[in-house]
A and B are shown apart, each in its own frame.
Chain A
Amino acid sequence: MTLTDQVLSGLSQAISGKPQQLRLALCCLLARGHLLIEDVPGMGKTTLAHALARVTGLDWRRVQFTSDLLPADILGVSIFERTSSTFRFQPGPVFTQLLLADEINRATPRTQSALLEAMEEGQVSVEGESRRLPEPFFVIATRNPVNQSGTFPLPESQLDRFLMRIELGYPDPASERAMLSGQTGRTVLSSLPVLMDDQQLRTLQQQVDQVQASERLLDYLQRLVAATREGDRFVCGLSPRAALALLGAARAWAFLAGRDYVLPEDVQAVFPAVAGHRLQSRAGGSVASLLAEVDVTGSA
C-alpha cells in the first residue's frame, strides 16, 4: 500500500462514502492547487480539511469569512511592542500550511483579494513588505451556494485561482449511520494516524511533477481546452492557466493511480472539478457533453 493510498484510507475514516471527493482533494494538494468546496453548511467541509491536515501532518488554521473581515485579519498586522519599542509583525492565520477559509464569499472583495494574492503568489504583502508563506501552502475555501444574502460573489477571474471546485453532497444512509454511531466524523479526528510530514508531501509533489504527459495526451488536452473556447457551449473558454491547472491535476490523478504517465481518463476524471467553476454554460453546453464529444485518440 503506497503512502497516498494510506492517506486516502485514513481520510475515509473521517469522511466515509466520499472516496471520489477525498481523492480529488488529495489530488489538489499534490498538484499544489487550492480547493474550493461548494456546499451547504454541515456537510463535513471542516472535517475534511481537518482530517487532511491531520493525516498529512500539516498545521492548519481556520478563518470564518464575514462581511466585516479585513485583510489584516487574515494576513496579520504589525503591533508596537512596548518592551522593545519596535513594531513587530504579528502573522495572521494565513501563515499556515493548510488554511480553511469558510464561506469565502461572505467577505468583501478587498479581503477576498488579499487571500487570493496569497494563494497565487505564495506570499503576502503587508505594509509594503513581502513575506513568504510556508511551504506547502494549501487553501480549502468553502462557498455557500444557497444562502446568497449578504454575499459578494467571487468573480470568474478569482475563481480561476482555485484549482478545483468540488461538492461533497449528502452522505449515503450507511455513511450517515456510521457517522451517527460515532464510527466516523469529527469524533475520530484525534485518533487519525499522522502518516507523513511536510517534507514527504513536498517529495510527493515533486514526484507528481515527474509524471509523464505524452504528446498525444497534450493533443487531447489541447483539444478539450479548444473545444471550450469554440462553439457556443460556454460563455467563455478556459484560460491557459486553466489548461496548466488541468494538466497538473491530471498528473496528480495519474500519480494517485500509481502510474508515471497520464492517460486521457485522468484528464477526464479531474476535468469537471477543474473546469466546472471556470466555465459558465450556455443552453445545451455541459462539461459532461464536452467530454463525451471530444475525441480522445483522433488527430489534432
Chain B
Amino acid sequence: MLNSLLNKEWLRRKRKTAPAVAPVTRAASFSLVFILVLVCLPLAPLLPAGTWVLVSLVVGWRLILLRARGAHPGKLIRTLLVVVALALVLLHYGTLLGLEAGATTLVSAYTLKLLEMRSRRDALVLSFMGFFVVVTGLLFSQSIAMTGYLLVCLVALVSVLVGLHQPGTQTDIGPALRTGLLLSAQALPLMVILFVLVPRIPPLWAVPHPDNSARTGLSDEMAPGDIARLSQSGELAFRATFTGEVPPPEQRYWRAVVMYWFDGRRWSQGDQKDWQKVGVAEEELISWYPQKPAWAPEQSSANVDYRYDIILEPSGRPWLPVLGPVNTAVQGTGLTRDWRLLSRDNVDLLRQYSMPSSGFQGMDAELPTWLKAASLQLPATGNARARQWAEELASQYGSNTPALVSVVLRHFREQDYYYTLRPPTLSGNTIDAFLFDTRRGFCAHYAGALTFILRAAGIPSRVVAGYQGGEVKEGGVVQVRQFDAHAWVEYWQAGYGWQRVDPTAAVAPERVEQGLEQAVAEEGSFLEGNLFSPVRYRHIDWVNTLRLQYEQLEYQWQRLVLSYDEDAQKDLFKDLFPGKDTLTVLLQLLVITVLLVMVISLIWVTRPWQQKLAPADRYYQQFCQRMKRKGLPRHPGEGPEDYALRIKRERPEWGQKAQEVTELYIRLAYANQEPQSHEATLQQLKRLACI
C-alpha cells in the first residue's frame, strides 16, 4: 500500500519535472533550418524548379516564424502544400518513386516537416529525417569530397540531437557541438571496422541506380560538332592503371562506339531495323559472357602487349572503353562483332574491369557479306562532289587501298585544313561543305569525311568513337577525361583485316601526341566554357599540384574504398587467412571485434583507475565546471552552500539555479534520504546540472 503510494508520488514528481510538450528552443530551430539547407544542398541538382521554390518559401516562412512574426500554417495550408509538393514531383518525374523522384519527395517532406515543427518530438523526427536525406546524397555521388561533406552534415545532425536532449533554454551551441563531434569521433573506428568486416553479401534488394542518361559522355550517334561539345567538359571519364609499360599516346586509342550508319548528316551505331536491312540477327553482333563467340579466334596470351585495370566513372551507357580490339568478354559483359566490350547494364556506378590488349592488326581477314554491306552503306544521294572525288581516287588507285588512304590524308595535311573547336555550322551536304568549302573541323568532321570518301571509293570502313590519349600519372595510371573524346576511322583491307587510321593526326598531329590542349593552344578555346574546371588552369603550377594531389587522393579513395565489394573482401581475407572460409572468418572477427569494443567501452566508462565519483558528485562537479567556464569557479575549500550564496551574490541571475542544484546535491550527498526519492532527486540534479 505504502509502496504504491510512494510510487504514485514518484510518478507525479516525474511528470512534473518532464513536461509532455517541450517547445523547441530558438537555437535548436535555427540549427535545424541550417542543417536542412546543408543536407539538401547535394541533392539540389535533382530538384525541379518548382520544388526549389517550395523549399525556399518554406525555409523563409520558418525564419519569419523564428523572428516571432507571422503565423504557423493552418491545417488547410499544410494540406495544400503537401499536395503542391507531390504534384511538383509528379509533373517533373511522372512518378513519386524511383531514385530521383523518391529523393525529391523526401526533400519535400523534410522541408514541410520543418514548417510544421512545434514540439520537441517534431524536432527529433526532423533530425532523423535529416540522417535519411544525408544517406540519399551518397546514391548520387561517392566522391571523397561528397563523403567529407556528408560527414560534416552527420556531425551537425548528431550535435543538434545532443542539443535537443539538453533541456532548458541553452543558447550557446558550443557544448552541443563539442559533444556531437566527440560522439562522431568515437563512432569512426567502429565505422571503419564494420566497413571492413561486415560480410558483403549480394543485395537482396537492389538500390535503383541514378539516371545518368543526361551526363556528358559519348553517345551512340555522331553529328559534326558533337564531340566538340564534349571537349568542353573536364570531367573524368575513366582511369586506367597499367601493369608494366604505359603505351605511347599514339597507341592509346580507347574504343567505345563503332558507327556504321550514315544518313547524310549523322553517323550512328544503328538500331535493330538498320541491321535487319543487311539481314543479321543480334546473336551475330554480340556474344554475352560466358558464351564463346563464334568469330573470336583462340586466345593466345603470347601476343598481349599491355595489361591494365580500368575504373570507369558512371556514364549511364553500356560501353566499356578498351584499348584496341579485345577478343574475350569478362563477367557481366559481352563481346561485340567489332571487338568491343559492352556491359550488360548501363554503367551507373563506378565500374572496374581489367583487360589484356594486343595491337590492332589483322582482325577479320575475311569479312561477312552483311558486315561488308554495313561498312559500305551510304545514302543514295547527296554530297556529289565528295563522291566524284572518291570515284576519281578509286579509278586511280584501284585495289591499292593504303595508297588511296594516304592520298586522302596527304590532302588533309597539305591543303589548308584546320583543326578547330569552333567549326562553322554546316548544313545541307555537310561532307561536301566541309571538304571543299569550310575546311575547318574537329575530329568528328575529319573521321566522317574520310569514312564517306572511303566508302564512296568502295572500301569498307567505319567511324570509331572513344577516347584518345589521356594524362599519364605516376604508377602507370592514365587519366582520361571527357575532353579526350575522339573519333577516328577503321577501314578494311582484303587479306589484312581492319586498319586504324586517324585523319585528325594528319591535320593536327599534336592532338594525338600531346592532347587537346596543345592542339588548340593557339586558338585558346580549351575548356573555354568551363571557367571553374581546375584542368583549365593546369599551366598554373600550384593549381596543378593541388589538382594532381586531389586526383591522386580520389583515385586511392576509389581503389581502396569504393571498389571494396564482395570480391575485394573475399580476396583480402583469402590472402590474410588462406585456406579458410571467408564468411566464417569474417563472422569470427566481427564477434571478436564487437566483444573487444564492448570491453574497451566498459573500461572507458567505468575508468577503474580513477577514483570513482558517485553520480551525485559527478553531476555537481559538472555544474561547478560550467560555472567555472562562466568565470565563477568554486574554491576548493568552499562548501556547496557557501558557493551557491556567492554565485547568488555575484551573479544574481544564476542564483536561482545554483540554489536549486545545491539543494538537490545536498539532499543527495549529505542528507539522510529515503532511497525511493533518491533516484528522482538524482535525475532532477542530472537534468539541472547539465544545462
Question: Which A positions have Cβ atoms within 8 angstroms of B?
Answer: 212, 214, 216-217, 259-265, 268, 291-300
Contacts and interface: CB of A to CB of B under 8 A. Distances in A.
B554 interface: no
B640 interface: yes
A264 B670 CA distance: 9
Please indicate which of the listed interface residues A260, A263, A294, A297 has the most CB atoms of chain B within 10 Å of its own CB: A297
Interface of B: 611, 613-614, 617, 620-621, 624, 635-642, 666, 669-672
27 contacts: A212-B671, A214-B669, A214-B670, A214-B671, A214-B672, A216-B614, A217-B670, A260-B671, A260-B672, A261-B670, A263-B640, A263-B670, A264-B639, A264-B640, A265-B639, A265-B642, A291-B637, A292-B637, A293-B636, A293-B637, A296-B636, A296-B637, A296-B639, A297-B640, A297-B669, A298-B636, A300-B611
A212 B672 contact: yes
A261 B672 contact: yes
A300 B617 CA distance: 12
A296 B621 CA distance: 11
A216 B617 contact: yes
Given A214-B671, A261-B670, 14 more contacts: A214-B669, A216-B617, A260-B671, A260-B672, A261-B671, A261-B672, A262-B670, A263-B666, A292-B636, A295-B636, A297-B621, A298-B636, A299-B611, A300-B611
Contact of A265 (B624, B641, B671): B641
A294 B639 contact: no
Contacts of A263: 639-641, 666, 670
A214 B642 CA distance: 18
Contacts, number: 57
B24 to A, nearest CB: 35
Contacts of A291: 637
Chain A binding site: helix, strand, loop or mixed by DSSP? loop
B670 A297 contact: no
Contacts of B671: 212, 214, 259-261
A265 B669 CA distance: 13
Contacts of B641: 263, 265
Contacts of B639: 263-265, 268, 296
A268 B614 CA distance: 23
A299 B666 contact: no
Contacts of B670: 212, 214, 216-217, 261-263
B611 A268 contact: no
Top 4 A-B residue pairs of the complex, sorted by shortest distance between their CB atoms = A299-B611, A264-B639, A265-B639, A295-B636
Contacts of B617: 216, 297
A255 to B, nearest CB: 14
Nearest to B643: A296
A212 to B, nearest CB: 4
Nearest to A216: B669
Given A216-B617, A263-B666, A296 B638 contact: yes
Contacts of B669: 214, 216, 297
A217 B613 CA distance: 14
Contacts of B621: 297
Nearest to B638: A296
Contacts of A292: 635-637
B640 A296 contact: yes
Nearest to B624: A297
Given A216-B669, A261-B672, A265-B642, A295 B613 contact: no
A212 B666 CA distance: 12
Nearest to A214: B670
A138 B617 CA distance: 39
A231 to B, nearest CB: 15
Contacts of B642: 265
Given A261-B670, A262-B670, A294 B640 contact: no
A262 B639 CA distance: 11
A295 B639 CA distance: 9
Contacts of A265: 639, 641-642
Nearest to B636: A295
Contacts of B611: 299-300
B666 to A, nearest CB: 7
Contacts of A300: 611
Contacts of B640: 263-264, 296-297
A161 B620 CA distance: 38
A212 B670 CA distance: 8
Nearest to B667: A261
Contacts of A214: 669-672
Nearest to B641: A265
A294 B637 contact: yes
Contacts of A296: 636-640
A262 B617 CA distance: 17
Contacts of B635: 292
Contacts of B636: 292-296, 298
A108 B316 CA distance: 112
Contacts of A293: 636-637
A220 to B, nearest CB: 9
B313 to A, nearest CB: 59
Contacts of B638: 296
A214 B613 CA distance: 15
